[in-house]
């Protein structure tokens, strides 16, 4: 895995399931450059998708129209279940009717 691939995965994993913009990925993976071609992100995402499909099929990178990319871990993954449980708990606690 290349350093840029690693940085892109790291950026996507900071919030699994949440779309990350191309600009944010560029800023994270190319912090020293302000003129990185957005097509570079597409190239790396394509390479990562092939690697995940071959070596880690429970992980995929989805394109989210107009927003960017998100990393999705298969259900049954404790990271996702824990995150979903925290979100559900927050929603329930904020929506409870007053007594």
Q: pLDDT category, 33, cuts 50, 70, 90?
A: confident
Distances (CA, A) of 99 to 2, 93, 96: 56, 13, 9
User: pLDDT of 45-98, one tens digit each?
Assistant: 999 999 999 999 889 999 999 999 999 987 655 455 445 444 444 444 444 444
Q: Which token pair is 9?
A: 């995965």
Q: Where are the beta strands (DSSP E) in 16-77?
A: 59-64, 68-73
pLDDT of residue 92: 41
8 belongs to a structural domain: yes
Q: Is the pLDDT of residue 10 over 80?
A: yes
CA distances from 63 to 3, 18, 88 (A): 22, 11, 25
Q: Which CATH number belongs to the domain containing residue 58 in this structure?
A: 1.10.10.10
Q: Does some domain include residue 38?
A: yes
pTM of the model as a whole: 0.71
């Amino acid at each position: 895995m290349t350093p840029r691939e690693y940085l892109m995965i790291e950026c996507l994993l900071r919030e699994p399931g949440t779309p990350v913009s191309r600009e944010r990925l560029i800023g994270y993976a190319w912090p020293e450059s302000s003129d990185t071609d957005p097509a570079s992100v597409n190239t790396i995402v394509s390479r990562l998708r092939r690697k995940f499909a071959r070596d880690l099929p429970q992980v995929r990178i989805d394109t989210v129209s107009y927003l960017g990319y998100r990393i999705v871990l298969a259900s049954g993954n404790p990271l996702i279940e824990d995150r979903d449980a925290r979100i559900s708990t927050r929603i329930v606690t904020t929506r409870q009717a007053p007594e």
